[in-house]
Amino acid sequence: MQTIQQYITEHKQRFIDELIELLKIPSISADTAYSQDVLNTADSILNALKKAGCTNVELCETPGYPIVYGEKIIDPNLPTVLVYGHYDVQPADPLDLWDAPPFDPIIKKTDIHPEGAIFARGACDDKGQMYMHVKALEYMTATDNLPCNVKFMIEGEEEVGSESLAWFVPRNIEKLANDVILISDTGMIANDIPSITTGLRGLSYVEVEVTGPNRDLHSGLYGGAVANPINILSKMIASLHDENNHITIPGFYDKVEELSTEERNEMGKAPFSLEAYKNALDIDDVHGEKGYTTNERNSIRPTLDVNGIWGGYTGEGAKTVIASKAYAKISMRLVPNQDWEEITELFKNHFEKIAPKSVKVKVTPHHGGQGYVTPIDNIGYQAASKAYEETFGVTPIPQRSGGSIPIVSLFEKELKSKTILMGFGLNSDAIHSPNEHFGVWNYLKGIETIPYFYKYFAELS
């Protein structure tokens, strides 16, 4: 029987070419100007699943973008793996910071990817990583090597909060029934230090609006005598952290899961160079909550960050004005046990309370979701770990990530199954940034590793 390694050697150029075609479609879910492209991408995935050997392939209608579904059931008595991924991508702007157009993929060598990386929006997050699963399935069906059942569920709204999927899942519990959920939409430490993501942070995302006078004012005639919403908003935002960089919202930390000293020591063993971290970002120092290391700050601790702030005059030259309104978008990354709706409420109450009488404040909640953890004694984790040992030659390190895939906790609640996060991207792959890329080596390594997950999961089940 042909091994996955032989199959990749024979088909790798086609695997790369197919991904490049997929990356050419600008499936930006946040911008309605691209809605036809998002729909076309769903069609592409549908055809790819058919070609890879799935049956019952369909576009499932939702209130938003369709969910692409397909399955290969070989024996109802065997375990079932549900693969999840997303075919939508983040907006590509700022466009002028890209070295090449974001939807015209090119392959370029980098220091970290000497064998070349594919540069395009979505290359790593998540088209490239999702497509590894399609190609791994192609191998398993073409060579009669599929050891269990598989279902695919690929959505088109992950980057905007997965609202339609949250609608779809509870309505399709039977259809989606599975023994484990498998996702490649995270990263690993380095190509020679593989890791498996064992946790994701939750998220609460809000928009705030501060209103001062009922119209924009001449800043000479009124300045100093009425509240300037931009000044006030800045001060309010600054007050959300204290001198130790703790978040000041009352009750914010009440439910935060505190890790034991042993767990923190275990985490601290993961290879990490603070110097390399700073160099990669061109910063002279890091910043964060007192009493925690950089790796703890960005994984097991909750945060609050302003993601955008605007108001007043930002055009060319100067305009002496006191704006009537100021705005900010604020996100809070949450850790297990913190409830995102409760945190949103705490934020809202606090923000309204700290506003001076001279302004009015409006807080509008956006999307959110709960954090997530996978215990490493879970058989899905064990199967993944053995798969990496097979293809990387070393045992992968369990690592909690700072990112969020809010739908994962909903899967656990509705489908009662655990998710295994086998990510093959690197932090330096610039997801959500200009020049996003995915190493060709990583893409092929993912395709190589996935069939072993199926093998060991079937064996251990």
- What residue ranges bind Mn ion (CB under 5 A)? 125-126, 185
Chain residues 92-151 in contact with ligand BES, contact rule CB under 6 A: 125-126
Of the listed pieces 12-20, 179-187, 249-257, 392-400, which binds ligand BES according to CB under 6 A?
Answer: 179-187
Cβ distance 55 to 72 under 8 Å?
Answer: yes
Site for ligand BES contains 302 (CB under 6 A):
no
How many residues bind ligand BES (CB under 6 A)? The answer is 15
CA distance 446 to 312: 48
Q: At closest approach, how far in Å is the CB of 88 from Mn ion?
A: 9
CB-nearer residue toward ligand BES: 159 or 448: 159
CA distance 322 to 442: 52
Tell me which of 26, 66, 156, 406 binds ligand BES, using CB under 6 A.
Answer: 406
Cα distances (angstroms) measured from residue 439 to each of 107, 108, 115, 128: 9, 9, 8, 10
Residue 448's binding partner among Mn ion, ligand BES, none (Cβ under 5 to 8 angstroms by kind) is none
Residue 179's binding partner among ligand BES, Mn ion, none (Cβ under 5 to 8 angstroms by kind) is none
Q: What are the residues whose beta carbons fall under 8 Å from the beta carbon of 163, sequence distance 6 or more?
A: 63, 64, 157, 367
Site for ligand BES contains 436 (CB under 6 A):
no
Tell me which of 187, 202, 311, 380 binds ligand BES, using CB under 6 A.
Answer: 187
Site for ligand BES contains 158 (CB under 6 A):
yes
Site for ligand BES contains 195 (CB under 6 A):
no
Of the listed pieces 185-193, 303-311, 389-397, 452-460, which binds ligand BES according to CB under 6 A?
Answer: 185-193
Q: At closest approach, how far in Å is the CB of 405 from ligand BES?
A: 5
CA distance 60 to 228: 49
**Residue that has been written with the tokens 């899967």 in this structure:** 411
Residue 203's binding partner among Mn ion, ligand BES, none (Cβ under 5 to 8 angstroms by kind) is ligand BES
Site for ligand BES contains 203 (CB under 6 A):
yes
Of the listed pieces 258-266, 303-311, 391-399, 401-409, which binds ligand BES according to CB under 6 A?
Answer: 401-409
Q: Quote the tokens at residue 369.
A: 């979701």
Q: What are the residues whose beta carbons fall under 8 Å from the beta carbon of 117, sequence distance 6 or more?
A: 107, 108, 109, 110, 123, 429, 437, 438, 439, 440
Residue 294: how many CB atoms within 10 A of its CB?
Answer: 14
Tell me which of 179, 185, 429, 436 binds ligand BES, using CB under 6 A.
Answer: 185
Site for ligand BES contains 186 (CB under 6 A):
yes
CA distance 290 to 297: 9
Residue 164's binding partner among ligand BES, Mn ion, none (Cβ under 5 to 8 angstroms by kind) is none
Q: Quote the tokens at residue 314.
A: 């930002």
Chain residues 311-370 in contact with ligand BES, contact rule CB under 6 A: 367
CA distance 280 to 435: 15
Cα distances (angstroms) measured from residue 215 to each of 212, 222, 359, 361, 362: 8, 12, 13, 16, 17
CB-nearer residue toward ligand BES: 122 or 229: 122
DSSP string computed for 59-95: EE--SSSPEEEEEE-S-TTS-EEEEEEE--B----SG
CB-nearer residue toward ligand BES: 7 or 131: 131
DSSP state of 179: S
Query: Where on the chain is the footprint of ligand BES (CB under 6 A)?
Result: 125-126, 158-159, 161, 185-187, 203, 367, 401, 403-406
